[in-house]
Amino acid sequence: MSKSSVLEEYRRHKILARHHKGAFKGRVWKGKQLLVEIEGDSVNAIINELHDFVDQRFVDIAKNRTSTPSSPEYVIAFQAIIEDLSDSHVAMLKAHYLAPNRERTATQLAEAAGYSSYGAVNLQYGMVGKKLNEELPIKLPEREDGTPIYTYALATAGDRSGKEAHWAWKLRPEVAHAIEKLGLVALT
């Protein structure tokens, strides 16, 4: 049995699908901006089509971007996600910002955030990168299975010699600027 109405958040977009006045209709909003309205055969079909719309929107935005997003774009994106970040996420961002040359290994970020291993940082910092990338889509390097490596939304690859635990990430200058503008670190 399908639902007669679904309201959900999907990739930081609000999606509504419902049966209304004899038809199945759906809408997608990003913030207060209505992006699309559609009709379909069922609420489930509408939801699937709207998910596809949002997914394709990310692909198109990232594909059409010809340069690294600007510092002000990163500030706006961080403003949208800041309340979703945990204290550990913020601790990693601060530690990365304060590092010499703004370069830290995953192990060093783990220590700063109180995680027991670099594996937790790969997951958690990746989650921050994913949230950021859903506000500010850019083309990201991918794993062999085709999934994006979301940490690249925050940083670029630093020193990759040695074991994975000691691989370094260099904070993007635009991300560093956003961290400053949002007051996440005290400027000296």
**Alpha-carbon gap, residue 40 to 48, rounded angstroms:** 10
Which residues pair with residue 33 across a beta bridge?
Answer: 30
Q: What is the mean pLDDT of residues 25-35?
A: 94
Answer yes or no: is pLDDT of 14 > 80: yes
Residue 187's pLDDT is 57
Which residues pair with residue 142 across a beta bridge?
Answer: 148
Answer yes or no: is pLDDT of 55 > 80: yes
65-107 tens-digit pLDDT: 888 899 999 999 999 999 999 999 999 999 999 999 999 998 9
- Residue ranges per domain, the chain? 5-64, 71-181
Domain 71-181 top-level CATH class: mainly alpha
**Alpha-carbon gap, residue 170 to 22, rounded angstroms:** 55
Phi first, then psi: what are they for 139, rounded to 5°?
-70, 125
Residue 87's pLDDT is 94
Q: Which residue has the tokens 């996600």?
A: 81
**pTM for this one?**
0.81
Residue 185's pLDDT is 83
Given pLDDT bands bounded at 50, 70 and 90, which one contains residue 22? confident
Residue 188's pLDDT is 47
Residue 1's pLDDT is 40
117-170 tens-digit pLDDT: 888 888 999 999 999 999 999 999 999 999 999 999 999 987 777 676 577 899
DSSP 31: T
Q: What is the mean pLDDT of residues 53-67?
A: 89
